[in-house]
Amino acid sequence: MSALSILSSGMLSAVGLSAPASCAAIRCALDNFQETRFIDGGGEWQVAASVPLEEPWRGRAKLMKMAARAIAESLAAVPGIDCAATPLLLGVAELERPGRCDGLDNSLLRDIERELGVRFHDASTLIPRGRVSAGVALLNARRLIHEGGHRHVLIAGVDSFLNAATLSAFEQRQRLLTSRHSNGFIPGEGAAAVVVGAPVRQDAEQLICFGLGFGVEKATVEADDMPLRADGLVQATQEALKDGNCRMEQMDYRLTDNSGEQYYFKEAALALSRTLRVVKEEFDIWHPADCIGECGAAIGPAMLAVALAASRKGYSLGPNIVYKLGNDAGERAVALLRYQRVGAA
């Protein structure tokens, strides 16, 4: 059995400084998009989704503060967890991201530990894969728990697009939503974390990750010379369905990291047409970035927090969820989630 159970969550976003607050706002389709002090190419203030902390931290210091708080929230909900025996898998921005903060790879993990006053297991590591980081972390957590003997693994992500170099680069690539460009994303920032473990007894309520798949898309969002067929997402979806011994029509809804660009919605539609072989009257797609903006590596754990809250509070569209991640380099990850209710087999 290689399934994982998502035990708890923590989250800081533009719409809430905790997982319950953020998930409630996302459920109500609230956002906190505001004008920033950055000016776009049309001379207008750039709209973004920033996390309102009590002090004006910026850059790497703010990433550390946000990550530490999300991690602390998720840890507090798991009584008796031993941090020294728990690896931390922390997703951050891709190495090639314009405007990426210096020092992330060398000391961010240690600084988070100092902020929290704890030391995590030596298997802790950074995963610099942007939005796909959480998918890679789920795969690594599966190995650490089922092969390495760890009781718990902490999956977290922290990221921010709110710096001048990043905004300028993405605007030049016509990726940002600005006063002069409508097909783009609203930049954001945030942090989220979940604690995962092996599934507990079958009669316990729990959100289980029971399938994982990965793929690579050659026709990336900036590859204008190739037709998009969604091959990478199809491959990842098919692998996840095979891994979970499941069919697409058995799933109830989709949870995705799409943040506003037409490319990713087209990709999702193409992939669905190639993997769903039975007509479904409804197969809704949730994209929390509509409320919290494009927050890079933070979106994966944030989506797990949304899935956990929706399942526990009963407003999920069903127990079976297709969870999709993809970064600009073409890496794709798909996980299958199932909420097991009391008494369910």
The alpha carbons of the chain give a radius of gyration, in whole angstroms, of 19
Are 134 and 325 spatial neighbours (Cβ–Cβ below 8 Å)? Answer: yes
What per-residue confidence (pLDDT) applies to 286? 97
pLDDT tens digits in sequence order for the chain, 345 residues long? 689 999 999 999 999 999 999 999 999 999 999 999 999 999 999 999 999 999 999 999 999 999 999 999 999 999 999 999 999 999 999 999 999 998 899 899 999 999 999 999 999 999 999 999 999 999 999 999 999 999 999 999 999 999 999 999 999 999 999 999 999 999 999 999 999 999 987 667 899 999 999 999 999 999 888 899 999 999 999 999 999 999 999 999 999 999 999 999 999 999 999 999 898 889 999 999 999 999 999 999 999 999 999 999 999 999 999 999 999 999 999 999 999 986 544
**Separation in Å, CA 234 to CA 204, 210, 216, 256, 324:** 32, 18, 9, 14, 11
**Separation in Å, CA 221 to CA 184, 218, 226, 261, 326:** 11, 9, 10, 9, 10
* Backbone angles phi and psi of 262, in degrees to 5: -60, -35
| Token pair recorded at residue 190 | 């945030």
At residue 339, the 3 state secondary structure works out as strand
- Looking up tokens 């719409």 gives 15
What per-residue confidence (pLDDT) applies to 342? 67
The DSSP annotation for 211-229 comes to EEEEEE-SS-TT-TTS---
What per-residue confidence (pLDDT) applies to 102? 87
What per-residue confidence (pLDDT) applies to 345? 43
Whole-angstrom distance, CA of residue 165 vs CA of residue 169: 6
- Looking up tokens 């919290």 gives 292
Within 178-323, residue ranges assigned H as helices are 231-243, 262-275, 289-292, 299-313
| pTM, to two decimals | 0.96
